[in-house]
């Protein structure tokens, strides 16, 4: 079984739990920080609300059904769709989308390799 790690994200009073291959969790955290830094520069009307990564952990056991664990690739796919939908004229989103898509491609390859194993 592959080693997984969890990122805990917070937006306002809502928490999200994202399961990532342990070797990619730091990339999600770094991407999240970069996106937050760049969000301030956007002028579009539909700037996405993006949660902050507040913690990472190796083990996670959720008690109850209030929360679910989100697959890392599913989270990155949603993130990519969210940023593709931003209609920005003053600031190029190409670099942000490139970073999102780079992690997306790495995760796709990782999951493909895991399915083959």
Residue 1: pLDDT band by 50, 70, 90 thresholds?
low
pLDDT of residue 25: 96
CA–CA separation, 117 vs 115, rounded Å? 5
- The predicted model gives 8-32 an average pLDDT of 96
Side-chain-facing half-sphere of 117: CA atoms under 13 Å? 8
pTM: 0.92
Choice between 25 and 89, residue whose per-residue pLDDT is larger? 25
Residues 84-112: tens digit of each pLDDT: 999 877 677 888 899 999 999 999 999 99
pLDDT of residue 66: 92
The residue with tokens 């593709």 is: 84
pLDDT of residue 90: 67
Instruction: Give rounded-to-5 percent helix, strand, coil for the chain.
Output: 45, 20, 35
Taking a C-beta distance cutoff of 8 angstroms, is the pair 63, 42 a contact?
A: no
Query: Furthest-apart CA pair in the chain: how many Å?
Result: 46
């Amino acid at each position: 079984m592959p080693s997984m790690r969890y990122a805990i994200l917070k937006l306002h009073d809502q928490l999200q739990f994202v399961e990532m291959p342990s070797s990619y969790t730091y990339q999600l955290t770094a991407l999240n920080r970069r996106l937050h830094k760049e969000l301030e520069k956007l002028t579009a009307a539909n700037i996405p609300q993006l949660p902050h990564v507040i913690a990472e952990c190796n083990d996670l056991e959720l008690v109850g059904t209030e929360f679910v664990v989100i697959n890392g690739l599913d989270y990155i796919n949603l993130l990519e769709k969210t940023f593709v939908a931003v209609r920005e004229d003053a600031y190029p989103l190409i670099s942000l989308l490139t970073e999102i898509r780079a992690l997306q491609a790495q995760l796709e390859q990782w999951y493909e390799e895991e399915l083959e194993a």
